[in-house]
Structure 1
Amino acid sequence: MRTRVAVIYGGMSVEHEVSVISALQAVQNMDQAKYEIIPLYISKEGTWYTGEQLLDIDQYKDLKGLLQRSQKILLSREANNRVTVNKDPKPKWGKAYINEIDVAFPIIHGTFGEDGVLQGYLELLGLPYVGCDVLSSSTGMDKVIMKNVYRDSGLPILDYVWFYSSQWNDAQEDWIQKVESELHYPVIVKPANLGSSVGISKAADRDELEEAVELAAQFANKVVVEKMVQNMTEINCSVLGDYESAEASVCEEVLGSDEILSYEDKYSGGGSSKEGGASKGMESTNRVIPAEISEDKTKEIQELAVRAFQVLGCSGVSRIDFMIDKDTDKVYINEINTIPGSLSFYLWEPTGKPYKELTNDLIKLALKRTREREQLMFSIDSNLFSLSKLSGGKGSKGTK
């Protein structure tokens, strides 16, 4: 019997379309002899759908029509601990049951999918799932928390200032002075919890800083202002594994059309690579694979990538983005993507790991984590209600 894999994608995120592309590419590269694929598409409004037609990328050109032909669903945990896909609403006649899920494969980038929210829901269902858990997902998604953890772990990051948008509104002049005294211009301004370069901009003076913060605050209520490396090389490296064992991929050099690699650079430009065959992932990004950097620098970045992955307790596959300051030759971690575009398969193919093998490894890692957690105790046999006389809704005096 094939393992039933629910691929969850779409979602309520500015990266919705990228998620659809990544998910369908992954589905095309799963071993159909081993896995029965169940597509679970989440609309931008948060409604869940299933149906074979959702696996055809051309159908998304008429999204409204596609969803009218698809089945709304809900997931349910049954008494025997099975997780089932059911019709929503439940029909008056006939079966609501559609299928059963053995393991979930989330491929939602950004908010409500990469930030631990979806992972928490899957935990409550008791459903094994691919990728990072709640804590590593949420830590990796929040650039402020991520930077704090990396800094305290001795990993190289750029100097930064962060604040809530409400704090900026209440004391804008104070925050401007803090940025100017601690970082100096130019700086990069980012929403704290988005990827794909959305809401990110450069500021070379006060006026541009105000505009950049205003833009970032449209996407997140927490804003990061970071020292800008003006003469840099952007290098990405993927990591596969978990807290026990992890390996790094080849490195790629990303070529943007400006100092900041824009959303358009990543998903709307033209792809390239030295070998010509590894540029299919985020098909559009201009890249050089392997990166044209020294062996020593490659090794340094790969070792930092594995450390950055394991410090957060990541699992599955992630992509860690780096910057090399060409003036000082120093390497800095920019961010970690715990559900990278197309799952970074294009960084693994040059190592001899085809996409089909990568997806198989990810599913095996998910099931390994489940086996480990089954050995843990999450509750104890007790009945506090029998220990003393209770007083209804009034509680017990002097007890905590």
Structure 2
Amino acid sequence: MKTRLAVIFGGISVEHEVSVISALQAVDQLNKDKYEIVPIYISKERNWYTGENLLDIDNYKDLPGLLKEAQPVSLQRTMDKRVVLNKEPRPRFGKAEVAEVDAALPIVHGTFGEDGVLQGYLELLHLPYAGCDVTASGAGMDKVQMKRIYRDAGLPVLDFISFYKHEWNSDNEGWLNQIEAAFSYPVIVKPANLGSSVGISKAADRSELEEAIDLAQRFAIKLVVEPMIENMTEINCSVAGDYSEAQASVCEQVLGTDEFLSYEDKYSGGKDGGASKGMEATNRIIPAEIPDNKTDEIQQLAVAAFQTLGASGVSRIDFILDNNSNQVYINEINTIPGSLSFYLWEPAGVSYPDLLDKLIQLALKRERERSQLMFSIDSNLFSMQKGGSKGSKQ
């Protein structure tokens, strides 16, 4: 019997289009003998749709026309403990149920998809899902929390200063002085909880720093400033597994058009139209052209970063190699990486269908383990309560 697999993609973040690309890549590679694919597209307006027409990338060139043909749905849990897609709005006559699902493969990048929000909803539905859980997703998406976790675990991260938008607006002179006292220019300014280099810029002086902060606060209410390593190499490594066992992929050396990889570098694909390939189209060298001892160090750090965060499924950990000091720093973890980083596993002998199988098996493993835990106590405190709604205080 096939597993009815809901592949969830789209979303309301700035990485919406990348999510569509990544998801359709995965659907193309999923073993159709094992899985019955149920596509679920989340529009930028937060509406949910299903339908076979959502599986053709060319249809997204006319998005309004595509959504007119798709079926609006909601994902719900029934009283008999099934998780189903129901038509929206519910028909007055006829069947409301479109499909039943057994597990989910979320491929929603960025805010409200990669940050634990979607995972929390799937938890409430009691639907097994691939990838990181709520806690790991939230911590991995928030660059400040991520850095603090890694720093406390003794893992190498760059120094940083973080502040909220309202703090900056109430005392920007004070924050400028604090940043300049801590770091020499140039520095990098980032939104704390956004991916794909959106809103990230460098600053070589105070004027540029103010501009960079103004840009970043358009995308997030919490910001991060850190020193910029000018002579650096960007190295990425993927990890697959969970808390008990995890393996690192080969490393890649990413070639950006500037000192750091921009959103356009990652997804525009240049003149050859590489956007249809997602992160696979990025200009890169695989395996990375670094010494073997550095490859080993980065792979070990990647697994440590993955398991320290309590990650599951597949993630991509991005590193900065300071070419002057030869020091490696963890830059960030991507808990739902573009293209699910399949291109880093194929050189290691792991096909994309096999990688997807592993992710789904890890999801079912986590569900089996959690089913053995106690989440509630079989008691009725209301039956023991005396004295009305105020309880013992009355």
TM range (shorter): over 0.9
Secondary structure, aligned partner of 1:185: coil
Secondary structure, aligned partner of 2:75: strand
Secondary structure, aligned partner of 1:347: helix
- Is 1:217 paired with 2:217? yes
Matches of residues 120-199 of structure 1 in structure 2 within 5 Å? Answer: 120-199=120-199
> Structure 2, unaligned stretches of length 5 or more?
none
> Structure 1, unaligned stretches of length 5 or more?
273-278
Q: Once the two structures are superposed, what CA deviation does each residue of 1:167-187 show, in whole Å capped at 9, x if it has no partner?
A: 000011111111001122110
Cα separation, 2, equivalents of 1:111 and 1:281: 18
Does structure 1 retain, via aligned residues, the 8 Å contact 2:21–2:277? no
Residue 40 of structure 1 is matched in structure 2 by: 40
Does structure 1 retain, via aligned residues, the 8 Å contact 2:83–2:100? yes
Matches of residues 261-300 of structure 1 in structure 2 within 5 Å? Answer: 261-269=261-269, 282-300=279-297
Alignment-mate amino acid for residue 158 of structure 2: L
Does structure 2 retain, via aligned residues, the 8 Å contact 1:280–1:346? no
Alignment-mate amino acid for residue 377 of structure 2: I
Residue 228 of structure 2 is matched in structure 1 by: 228
In the TM superposition, what is the alpha-carbon distance from 1:271 to its structure 2 partner?
Answer: 10
- Is 1:396 paired with 2:391? yes
Cα separation, 1, equivalents of 2:2 and 2:73: 22
Cα separation, 2, equivalents of 1:103 and 1:33: 16
Aligned equivalent of 1:320, options 317, 320, 324: 317
Residue 366 of structure 1 is matched in structure 2 by: 363
Secondary structure, aligned partner of 1:396: helix
Secondary structure, aligned partner of 1:335: strand
Cα separation, 1, equivalents of 2:233 and 2:393: 62
Cα separation, 2, equivalents of 1:245 and 1:283: 26
C-alpha change, 1:21 and 1:281, in structure 2 (3 Å) is closer
Residue 310 of structure 1 is matched in structure 2 by: 307
In the TM superposition, what is the alpha-carbon distance from 1:280 to its structure 2 partner?
Answer: 5.5
In the TM superposition, what is the alpha-carbon distance from 1:136 to its structure 2 partner?
Answer: 0.0
Q: Once the two structures are superposed, what CA deviation does each residue of 1:246-274 show, in whole Å capped at 9, x if it has no partner?
A: 000000000000012111100113599xx
Cα separation, 1, equivalents of 2:296 and 2:326: 14
Identical columns (%): 68
Cα separation, 2, equivalents of 1:256 and 1:176: 28
Matches of residues 335-346 of structure 1 in structure 2 within 5 Å? Answer: 335-346=332-343
Does structure 1 retain, via aligned residues, the 8 Å contact 2:267–2:278? no
In the TM superposition, what is the alpha-carbon distance from 1:284 to its structure 2 partner?
Answer: 2.5
Residue 68 of structure 2 is matched in structure 1 by: 68
Cα separation, 1, equivalents of 2:161 and 2:290: 30
- Is 1:10 paired with 2:5? no
Does structure 2 retain, via aligned residues, the 8 Å contact 1:265–1:284? no
Matches of residues 342-357 of structure 1 in structure 2 within 5 Å? Answer: 342-357=339-354
Alignment-mate amino acid for residue 287 of structure 1: R
Cα separation, 1, equivalents of 2:370 and 2:227: 41
Does structure 2 retain, via aligned residues, the 8 Å contact 1:324–1:332? yes
Alignment-mate amino acid for residue 360 of structure 1: D
C-alpha change, 1:280 and 1:63, in structure 2 (3 Å) is closer
Cα separation, 1, equivalents of 2:137 and 2:387: 41
Q: Once the two structures are superposed, what CA deviation does each residue of 1:3-50 show, in whole Å capped at 9, x if it has no partner?
A: 000000000100000000000000000000000000000000100000
User: Higher helix proportion, which one?
Assistant: 2
Does structure 1 retain, via aligned residues, the 8 Å contact 2:190–2:216? yes
Does structure 2 retain, via aligned residues, the 8 Å contact 1:115–1:134? yes
Cα separation, 1, equivalents of 2:55 and 2:321: 39
Secondary structure, aligned partner of 2:279: coil
Residue 384 of structure 1 is matched in structure 2 by: 381
Alignment-mate amino acid for residue 300 of structure 1: E
Alignment-mate amino acid for residue 312 of structure 1: L
In the TM superposition, what is the alpha-carbon distance from 1:153 to its structure 2 partner?
Answer: 0.5
Q: Once the two structures are superposed, what CA deviation does each residue of 1:99-121 show, in whole Å capped at 9, x if it has no partner?
A: 10100100000000000000000
Residue 253 of structure 1 is matched in structure 2 by: 253
Residue 23 of structure 1 is matched in structure 2 by: 23
Alignment-mate amino acid for residue 161 of structure 1: I
Cα separation, 1, equivalents of 2:157 and 2:303: 15
Secondary structure, aligned partner of 1:318: strand
Alignment-mate amino acid for residue 190 of structure 1: K
Q: Once the two structures are superposed, what CA deviation does each residue of 1:255-299 show, in whole Å capped at 9, x if it has no partner?
A: 000012111100113599xxxxxx965232100000001110000
Q: Once the two structures are superposed, what CA deviation does each residue of 1:66-90 show, in whole Å capped at 9, x if it has no partner?
A: 0000000011111221100110011
In the TM superposition, what is the alpha-carbon distance from 1:53 to its structure 2 partner?
Answer: 0.3
Cα separation, 2, equivalents of 1:310 and 1:388: 44
Does structure 2 retain, via aligned residues, the 8 Å contact 1:269–1:284? yes
Q: Once the two structures are superposed, what CA deviation does each residue of 1:300-339 show, in whole Å capped at 9, x if it has no partner?
A: 0000000000001000000000000000000000000000
Does structure 2 retain, via aligned residues, the 8 Å contact 1:270–1:283? no
User: Normalising by structure 1, what TM-score?
Assistant: 0.96
Residue 276 of structure 1 is matched in structure 2 by: none
Does structure 2 retain, via aligned residues, the 8 Å contact 1:186–1:227? yes
Alignment-mate amino acid for residue 135 of structure 2: L
Residue 50 of structure 2 is matched in structure 1 by: 50
